[in-house]
Amino acid sequence: MTTPLANYLILAALLFAVGLAGALMRRNAVLVLIGLELMFNAANLNFIAFWRFNPHPERLTGLMFALFSIAIGAAEAAIGLALIIAIYRHRRTAQVDQFNSLKG
């Protein structure tokens, strides 16, 4: 119990940066979704860390937040994958830079 809060936060920030990089750089929509998922979990790690190190850990606020957020993340992943499959069926590709039919 000697690891300070800052270490967790740095880990979460790193995790977020990796996820953001994946979401921005990858061309495949599935990998973009994985990147988003990493950023999501980095945020969840922050919730847990702040909860663990706050003065009243018995209130379980951070834990509840993380649980809700994981449930929402699962739903979001399902919707995201469903969209990707629908687009793939339509366009025969999963490359994000080719999804440009909304271009003005």
Residue placing its CB nearer to another protein in the complex, 2 or 101: 101
Interface residues toward another protein, by CB under 8 A: 20, 23-24, 32, 96-97, 99-104
Q: Which is nearer to another protein, 5 or 83 (CB)?
A: 83
> Three-state secondary structure along the chain?
CCCCHHHHHHHHHHHHHHHHHHHHHCCEHHHHHHHHHHHHHHHHHHHHHHHHHCCCHHHCHHHHHHHHHHHHHHHHHHHHHHHHHHHHHHHCCCEHHHCCCCCC
Question: Shortest distance, CB of residue 88 to another protein, whole angstroms?
Answer: 15
Of 36 and 62, CB closest to another protein: 36
